[in-house]
Amino acid sequence: MPEIKVTPLGAGQDVGRSCILVSIGGKNIMLDCGMHMGYNDDRRFPDFSYITQNGRLTDFLDCVIISHFHLDHCGALPFMSEMVGYDGPIYMTHPTKAICPILLEDFRKITVDKKGETNFFTSQMIKDCMKKVVPLNLHQTVQVDDELEIKAYYAGHVLGAAMVHIKVGSESVVYTGDYNMTPDRHLGAAWIDKCRPDILISESTYATTIRDSKRCRERDFLKKVHESIERGGKVLIPVFALGRAQELCILLETFWERMNLKAPIYFSTGLTEKANHYYKLFITWTNQKIRKTFVQRNMFEFKHIKAFDRSYADNPGPMVVFATPGMLHAGQSLQIFKKWAGNEKNMVIMPGYCVQGTIGHKILNGQRKLEMEGRSTLDVKLQVEYMSFSAHADAKGIMQLIRMAEPRNMLLVHGEAVKMEFLKGKIEQEFSIDCYMPANGETVTVTTNPSVPVDISLNLLKREMALGGPLPDPKKPRTMHGTLIMKENSLKLVSSEQALKELGLNEHQLRFTCRVQLQDPHSDTDTLHRIYTHLKSVLKGYTIQHLPDGTVMVESIVIKVSSSTEDPNTKVLLLSWSYQDEDLGSFLSTLLKKGLPSGLC
């Protein structure tokens, strides 16, 4: 039976590291290649030994697809391609291709420079890895090879995030990566057509939650900023160059306008340039609202938000500053942090996850005394706030996506299997499809029922349609005689003669003969004529001929009459038919065994 195999890789049940292997139609595909941030040893990488015990992965994988630039989806990519070894194509969207290397390099710097790791990928490896990338456009079908094709769909979540549709022959799989079903201030919602894949693979990290609304999270953010500003404090918001930063800026701008606030908001220059650059490049990836405003004005010409100069950090009074990098591990955001940390009126708002080893990670864990370079200690007296703005699909979102795509089977990865029985039941009940929840390292095999397309030769079709007659029943499916030929990966149904010709074979003829005894006090010729009349009245629509050589032919069936030697009234009918006319032949012999009706002339 045809089947598709799915195996989520990785060591242990931990969520947050994505790497899924799919075997479909003889092709092997790796979906995402994420790193687990919590471990310092090999457990942070997916377990590639599942693919092959030693050696490069090139021969075992047809392609690698990366859904978006978050490190838990692409963090292990350079390790996989350059240290384990893979030379095949790596597919990702344009924004992902542009942003991935920046985050990977940042991440590498923290891990190697800050934490002194040795077994880690180098800057050159990141560059070499990115050379293997083939960028994807939305809704554009890409042929990986003759049989494998992929297509990217909009996923929301972050700039450039995609869901991917994978097809081999008539079997298909959709992988969602991380997605979001509700639009936010700068991104739209995920969308896919009714592609009816055999399997829909979805992350299920938040499958057992019901998410608090976006506006409430924003409200919290505004509340914190406002409270700080009101008491004369300074607010530092460390951000990455993209995504969340724009959204928060738009939010603050709206708020400042409404509340008529005067405190200055700054955006560090490096950020502005990069962000502007990327947004210009990828404007089609943002939502309607952003695109509209972008047309009217430059993305970063806010009324209340200005470019930052490092000397401003020493200015008295309240202010808000957006600065990179996002985890406070180096650069401008760290400099500002050091200046403001000692004042309890100030605040730092961390808008996302921080890697272990960074200052961001330490303060989010409650550390209030930090060791800085040169043995100095920094007292952290300012308020530390952790806000999560990332948009993920929850249980409701998963159900919505299933309704959109109409998959034949559902597969949830990276959840807590034991705690998802309810969701599994819900999916199975509402959609009558199977729902699988494999653990890491466990393979799920899904049997598919693909339809096989077959061409039929026109001649054959015409011939079958020409076979008339009300008997046998035209409503019932009828047996068709033809030959199925498989040539150059396509299937054809042709007439037997054509098939024999193509194969250079001779046709053998099978003929059946049958003798039927009949009582009929007429001459042989008259009996034959009577038979002819009888058959003509019963078998309307069939070709019946009374031939001069003394036979009656029904289609290709031959009927001859002769008398028995003992009794001239006992007629012996000889019926002869070919294999093709078996049905009709049998019918005729049964009919004639019943005798001829008396009313015939």
Partner 1 sequence: RTDMEETEFDDILDDWFIESLKTYKDLHVYQLEHPTQVIEWTSGKTVCVAGFTSSKNEILELRLPLKLFADENKGLCAERDFKVVHGGFTDAPVRFSNCLNLQVWDLGGDDSDVIRRTGSVDGSRGVSEGGSRIAARLSSQPQVLHGAESAGVRLTQLTSGQTVYTLETDSADPLSSLHFVSDAVFLAGCSNGKVYIADTRTSAAPQLSPPPPSSGESVLWWTDASAGPSCLDPSSCRIVRLSSCGQTVISDLRNPGGAVSRAQLDVQTRRCNADDVRVSWAPALDDCIAVSGFSGAVQIYSSSVWTTELQEAQPLFEHRGHAVSSQSDDGVPVFVTSHVWHPERPRTLLSAASDGSVHVWDWVDQSAAGC
Strand 265-268, strand 305-308: pairing: parallel
Does residue 479 bind partner 1 (CB under 8 A)?
A: no
Least separation in angstroms between CB 262 and partner 1: 17
Q: How far is the CB of 205 from partner 1 (least distance, A)?
A: 11
* Candidate segments 30-38, 166-174, 326-334, 360-368, binder of partner 1 by CB under 8 A: 360-368
Q: What pairs with residue 350 in β-bridges? A: 386
List 65, 189, 364, 539, residue binding partner 1 (CB under 8 A): 364
Rounded distance, CA 466 to CA 460, Å? 10
- From the CB of 115, what's the least distance to partner 1, in Å? 23
Q: Which is nearer to partner 1, 171 or 178 (CB)?
A: 178
Give the chain's largest Cα–Cα span.
134
Among 32, 62, 72, 218, binds partner 1 (CB under 8 A): 218
Query: Alpha-carbon distance 65 to 443, whole Å?
Result: 19
Closest distance to partner 1 from the beta carbon of 386 (Å): 4
Using CB under 8 A, which residues numbered 2 to 41 contact partner 1? none
Rounded to a whole number of angstroms, the minimum distance from the CB of residue 227 to partner 1 is: 9
Could you say whether residue 422 binds partner 1 (CB under 8 A)?
A: yes
Nearest CA among 135, 136, 134, 139 for reference residue 195? 139
> 144 near 30, Cβ under 8 Å?
no
Only segment of 119-127, 137-145, 205-213, 447-455 that touches partner 1 (CB under 8 A) = 205-213
Q: In the stretch 367-386, what mask flags binding to partner 1 with x, by CB under 8 A?
A: ----------------xxxx
Say what the alpha-carbon torsion angle 291, 292, 296, 301 is, to the nearest 10 degrees.
Answer: -60
Residue 206 and residue 179 in contact, taking contact as beta carbons nearer than 8 Å: no
Task: Pick the closest to residue 76 from 132, 121, 26 (CA basis).
Answer: 121
User: Quick check: 209 binds partner 1 (CB under 8 A)?
Assistant: yes
Question: 139, 231, 310, 419: which one contacts partner 1 (CB under 8 A)?
Answer: 419
Q: How distant is the alpha carbon of residue 186 from its chain centre?
A: 24
Distance of closest approach, residue 217 Cβ to partner 1, in angstroms: 6
387 or 538: CB nearest partner 1: 387
Whether residue 199 contacts residue 446, with contact meaning beta carbons closer than 8 Å, is answered with yes
167 vs 362 by CB, closer to partner 1: 362
Kindly list the strands in the beta sheet with 27-31, ordered across the sheet, starting from the edge strand earlier in the chain.
Answer: 133-136, 90-93, 63-65, 27-31, 20-24, 3-8, 444-447
Asked if 212 is part of the footprint of partner 1 (rule: CB under 8 A), the reply reads yes
Q: Which of 109, 114, 127, 217 forms a contact with partner 1 (CB under 8 A)? A: 217
H/E stretch holding 13 reads none
Task: Indicate the residue among 162 and 399 with the shorter CB distance to partner 1.
Answer: 399
Residue from the set 5, 115, 139, 223 that interacts with partner 1 by CB under 8 A = 223
Amino acid sitting at position 528: L
Q: Is 395 in the site for partner 1 (CB under 8 A)?
A: yes
Binding residues for partner 1, total number by CB under 8 A: 43
CA nearest to 461, candidates 484, 485, 480: 480
Look at the alpha carbons of 61, 65, 70, 73 in this order and tell me if their dihedral is positive or negative: negative
Judged by CB under 8 A, the residue of 420, 427, 558, 592 near partner 1 is 420
> Which of 91, 107, 206, 532 touches partner 1 by CB under 8 A?
206
Catalytic residue from among 82, 203, 218, 385: 203
Element (H, E) at 360: helix 359-364
Q: Which of 21, 355, 399, 557 binds partner 1 (CB under 8 A)?
A: 399
Binding mask of the shown chain, residues 310 to 349, with x at each position contacting partner 1 by CB under 8 A: ----------------------------------------
Token code pair at residue 565: 């030697």
**Contact flag: residue 226 with partner 1 (CB under 8 A):** yes
Residue 172 near residue 201, CB atoms below 8 Å: no
DSSP string, 399-433: HHHHHHH--SEEEEESS-GGGGHHHHHHHHHHH--
- Going from the C-alpha of 197 to that of each of 4, 168, 205, 405, 409, the distances in angstroms are 11, 11, 22, 7, 8
Print the binding letters for residues 424-463 with partner 1: x by CB under 8 A, - otherwise: -xx--x----------------------------------
Q: Is 257 in the site for partner 1 (CB under 8 A)?
A: no
Query: Distance between CA 521 and CA 533 in Å, rounded?
Result: 16
Minimum CB–partner distance for residue 385 and partner 1 (Å): 4
The correct pick among 82, 394, 520, 581 for binding partner 1 (CB under 8 A) is 394
Does 371 participate in catalysis according to the annotation? Answer: no
Nearest approach in angstroms of CB 421 to partner 1 is 5
Is the Cβ of residue 223 or residue 280 nearer to partner 1 in the bound state?
223
Q: Contact 153/191 with Cβ under 8 angstroms?
A: yes
Helical spans, DSSP H, in 509-594: 524-538, 582-593
Residue 485 binds to partner 1 (criterion: CB under 8 A): no
Is 304 a binding residue for partner 1 by CB under 8 A? The answer is no
The partner residues of 74 in beta bridges, in order of sequence, read: none
Query: What residue ranges bind partner 1 (CB under 8 A)?
Result: 206, 208-213, 215-220, 222-224, 226, 254-255, 258-259, 364-366, 383-388, 394-396, 399, 418-423, 425-426, 429
| Residues carrying an active site annotation | 203
